[in-house]
Copies of this chain bind each other. A is one copy, B any other.
Amino acid sequence: MATRTDAPTRREQILKEAARLFAERGFHGVGVDEIGAAVGISGPGLYRHFAGKDAMLAELLVGISGQLLTGAKRRLAEADGGGAEAVLDSLIEGHIDFALDDRPLITLHDRELDRLRDSDRKMVRQLQRQYVELWVGVVREVYVGLGEPVARSAVHSVFGLLNSTPHLGRAGSLPGRGATAELLHRMARGAFAAAVD
């Protein structure tokens, strides 16, 4: 895995801060001046890097959905031959990593989707749908008793469980990152197992 050591570009700085602010106070709750201030420039300066406030949100949401889907496809391919169980564990692990490392993005992901232009929103929804369907396939391979609608509901519910990380106290009240990840992983598997009945 190639870890990048070069400094983040200005666009990336802006996106990161915008994500944090949008997650904290909502898309309409944040002004461009505020986003600018967060990266050390002033409001209108942002327009050298983005067409507008909407464009920032769009790039964030499309990026998130794309990353999730790409990662999931990669894990599916990598673990090929390792059995469905291993793939599911890998999917869960990947989603947890994302939920723990990019809390603001997780928050945005299902909160500000309606603010997008139609074309962007369709794109995001399609990526999300593919991601869900990929999970549904793997889950049904592991838990063979599950019908498709039930499996889909179960997947959405487990996403809700995994995406709860923003609500887990921000401070050091957590049992540590590793322990939290393990706990979430166990609970996800337990939830799926209980779905089968």
Contacts and interface: CB of A to CB of B under 8 A. Distances in A.
14 contacts: A149-B174, A150-B175, A152-B169, A153-B175, A153-B183, A156-B168, A157-B183, A157-B184, A160-B160, A161-B161, A186-B197, A187-B192, A188-B191, A190-B193
Contacts of A183: 150, 153-154, 157, 195
Contacts of A25: 114
A145 to B, nearest CB: 12
Interface string A15-58: 00000000011111100000000000000000000000000000
A180 interface: yes
A154 B175 CA distance: 12
Given A153-B174, A190-B193, 13 more contacts: A26-B111, A28-B29, A111-B111, A152-B169, A152-B173, A153-B180, A154-B183, A160-B164, A186-B194, A187-B192, A188-B191, A189-B194, A190-B192
Contacts of A24: 114
A115 interface: yes
A193 B183 CA distance: 11
A172 to B, nearest CB: 10
Copies in the complex: 2
Interface residues of A, number: 45
Residue among A149, A153, A188 with max Cβ neighbours from chain B (10 Å): A153
Interface in A130-171: 149-150, 152-154, 156-164, 167-169
Interface of A: 24-29, 110-112, 114-115, 149-150, 152-154, 156-164, 167-169, 173-175, 180, 183-184, 186-195, 197
Nearest to A173: B149
A180 B195 CA distance: 10
